[in-house]
Amino acid sequence: MAHAQESHTKRIWIVFGFLCIITMVEVALGIVKPEGLYFTQFLGTSLLNWIFIILTLVKAYYIVWAFMHLEGEKKWFRRAIVWTVVFLISYLVTLLLIEGGYLFETLAPLVKWDY
Protein backbone atom coordinates (compact mmCIF):
# COMPACT_ATOMS: atom_id res chain seq x y z
CA MET A 1 0.00 0.00 0.00
CA ALA A 2 1.33 3.36 -1.02
CA HIS A 3 1.52 6.46 1.08
CA ALA A 4 -1.77 8.22 1.73
CA GLN A 5 -0.90 11.65 0.39
CA GLU A 6 0.59 10.33 -2.81
CA SER A 7 -1.23 11.19 -6.02
CA HIS A 8 -2.12 8.40 -8.39
CA THR A 9 -2.92 10.46 -11.44
CA LYS A 10 -0.25 8.72 -13.50
CA ARG A 11 -1.79 5.30 -13.00
CA ILE A 12 -5.24 6.72 -13.76
CA TRP A 13 -4.09 8.12 -17.10
CA ILE A 14 -2.35 4.87 -17.98
CA VAL A 15 -5.55 2.94 -17.31
CA PHE A 16 -7.48 5.49 -19.35
CA GLY A 17 -5.11 5.01 -22.28
CA PHE A 18 -5.43 1.28 -21.97
CA LEU A 19 -9.25 1.40 -21.97
CA CYS A 20 -9.18 3.65 -25.04
CA ILE A 21 -6.84 1.30 -26.88
CA ILE A 22 -9.07 -1.71 -26.12
CA THR A 23 -12.12 0.21 -27.34
CA MET A 24 -10.34 1.21 -30.53
CA VAL A 25 -9.33 -2.39 -31.16
CA GLU A 26 -12.96 -3.45 -30.65
CA VAL A 27 -14.26 -0.81 -33.02
CA ALA A 28 -11.64 -1.67 -35.65
CA LEU A 29 -12.49 -5.37 -35.43
CA GLY A 30 -16.20 -4.52 -35.55
CA ILE A 31 -15.75 -2.55 -38.76
CA VAL A 32 -13.26 -4.86 -40.51
CA LYS A 33 -14.77 -8.17 -39.32
CA PRO A 34 -11.81 -10.41 -40.27
CA GLU A 35 -13.26 -13.40 -42.13
CA GLY A 36 -11.29 -16.03 -40.25
CA LEU A 37 -12.72 -14.82 -36.95
CA TYR A 38 -16.14 -13.78 -38.15
CA PHE A 39 -17.07 -17.10 -39.77
CA THR A 40 -15.42 -19.52 -37.33
CA GLN A 41 -17.94 -20.85 -34.85
CA PHE A 42 -16.76 -21.69 -31.36
CA LEU A 43 -18.99 -22.62 -28.40
CA GLY A 44 -22.18 -21.25 -29.89
CA THR A 45 -20.91 -18.02 -31.40
CA SER A 46 -18.15 -16.70 -33.63
CA LEU A 47 -14.54 -16.32 -32.52
CA LEU A 48 -14.87 -12.60 -33.16
CA ASN A 49 -17.69 -12.40 -30.63
CA TRP A 50 -15.56 -14.25 -28.11
CA ILE A 51 -12.80 -11.70 -28.61
CA PHE A 52 -15.32 -8.91 -28.00
CA ILE A 53 -16.56 -10.57 -24.83
CA ILE A 54 -13.05 -11.16 -23.48
CA LEU A 55 -11.98 -7.58 -24.26
CA THR A 56 -15.13 -6.35 -22.51
CA LEU A 57 -14.29 -8.35 -19.41
CA VAL A 58 -10.76 -6.95 -19.46
CA LYS A 59 -12.20 -3.45 -19.61
CA ALA A 60 -14.61 -4.26 -16.80
CA TYR A 61 -11.70 -5.55 -14.72
CA TYR A 62 -9.76 -2.32 -15.14
CA ILE A 63 -12.76 -0.11 -14.39
CA VAL A 64 -13.63 -2.04 -11.24
CA TRP A 65 -10.09 -2.57 -10.01
CA ALA A 66 -8.50 0.78 -10.85
CA PHE A 67 -11.35 3.31 -11.06
CA MET A 68 -13.70 1.84 -8.46
CA HIS A 69 -10.61 0.90 -6.57
CA LEU A 70 -11.60 -2.56 -5.51
CA GLU A 71 -7.93 -3.51 -5.49
CA GLY A 72 -7.42 -1.40 -2.36
CA GLU A 73 -10.31 -2.90 -0.37
CA LYS A 74 -10.00 -5.68 2.16
CA LYS A 75 -9.74 -9.11 0.55
CA TRP A 76 -13.04 -10.49 1.80
CA PHE A 77 -14.98 -7.32 1.05
CA ARG A 78 -13.72 -7.65 -2.50
CA ARG A 79 -14.69 -11.28 -2.64
CA ALA A 80 -18.15 -10.65 -1.18
CA ILE A 81 -18.80 -8.36 -4.14
CA VAL A 82 -16.99 -10.08 -7.01
CA TRP A 83 -17.79 -13.70 -6.23
CA THR A 84 -21.49 -12.96 -5.70
CA VAL A 85 -21.86 -11.04 -8.93
CA VAL A 86 -19.75 -13.40 -11.04
CA PHE A 87 -21.53 -16.51 -9.78
CA LEU A 88 -25.08 -15.18 -10.13
CA ILE A 89 -24.53 -13.62 -13.53
CA SER A 90 -22.82 -16.67 -15.02
CA TYR A 91 -25.63 -18.82 -13.67
CA LEU A 92 -28.36 -16.62 -15.12
CA VAL A 93 -26.65 -16.13 -18.46
CA THR A 94 -25.91 -19.84 -18.89
CA LEU A 95 -29.50 -20.84 -18.23
CA LEU A 96 -31.06 -18.16 -20.39
CA LEU A 97 -28.74 -18.64 -23.35
CA ILE A 98 -29.27 -22.40 -23.37
CA GLU A 99 -33.00 -21.75 -23.23
CA GLY A 100 -32.71 -19.28 -26.11
CA GLY A 101 -30.93 -21.87 -28.23
CA TYR A 102 -33.60 -24.42 -27.42
CA LEU A 103 -36.38 -21.99 -28.36
CA PHE A 104 -34.71 -21.37 -31.70
CA GLU A 105 -34.38 -25.09 -32.48
CA THR A 106 -38.00 -25.67 -31.54
CA LEU A 107 -39.63 -22.64 -33.11
CA ALA A 108 -37.49 -21.92 -36.18
CA PRO A 109 -38.87 -24.88 -38.21
CA LEU A 110 -42.37 -23.48 -37.68
CA VAL A 111 -41.58 -20.06 -39.14
CA LYS A 112 -42.59 -19.66 -42.75
CA TRP A 113 -40.15 -17.51 -44.67
CA ASP A 114 -41.30 -17.70 -48.27
CA TYR A 115 -44.73 -16.81 -49.52
Partner 1 sequence: MEATIAVKSEEKNAWDGGGSRPFGASYGKMMMWFFIVSDALTFSGFLAAYGLTRFKFIDSWPIADQVFNHFPFIHGDHPMLFVALMTFILIFSSVTMVLAVDAGHRMKKTQVTWYMLLTIIGGLIFLGSQAWEWKNFIGGTYGAVKTTEGQVLQFVKEGHQIALSDFVVGAHGERTTHTRENGLWFESEAALPTYSLQQVISSYEHNPSVLIRTEEIDLETKEKKILSREEGSRYLLMATKVVEGANLTENEYGKTLFADFFFFITGFHGFHVFSGILINIIVFFNVILGTYEKRGHYNMVEKVGLYWHFVDLVWVFVFTFFYLV
d(CA 50, CA 71) in angstroms, rounded, equals 26
Chain center to CA of 87: 15
47 binds partner 1, rule: CB under 8 A: no
- 3-class DSSP state for residue 69? coil
30 binds partner 1, rule: CB under 8 A: yes
85 binds partner 1, rule: CB under 8 A: yes
- 3-class DSSP state for residue 46? strand
Out of 8, 21, 34, 40, the residue judged to bind partner 1 by CB under 8 A: 8
Helix axes 47-62, 9-32, angle to 10 degrees: 170
By C-beta, is 27 or 42 nearer to partner 1?
27
Out of 21, 34, 38, 40, the residue judged to bind partner 1 by CB under 8 A: 38
Q: In terms of Cα–Cα distance, which of 20, 22, 23, 25 is closest to 37? A: 25
Q: From its phi and psi, is residue 112 left (phi > 0), alpha (psi between -120 and 50) or beta?
A: beta
Binding residues for partner 1 (CB under 8 A): 1-2, 4-9, 11-13, 16, 19-20, 23-24, 26-27, 30-31, 38-39, 45, 49, 52-53, 55-56, 59-60, 63-64, 66-69, 71-74, 76-77, 80-81, 84-85, 88-89, 92-93, 96-97, 99-101, 103-104, 107-108, 111-115
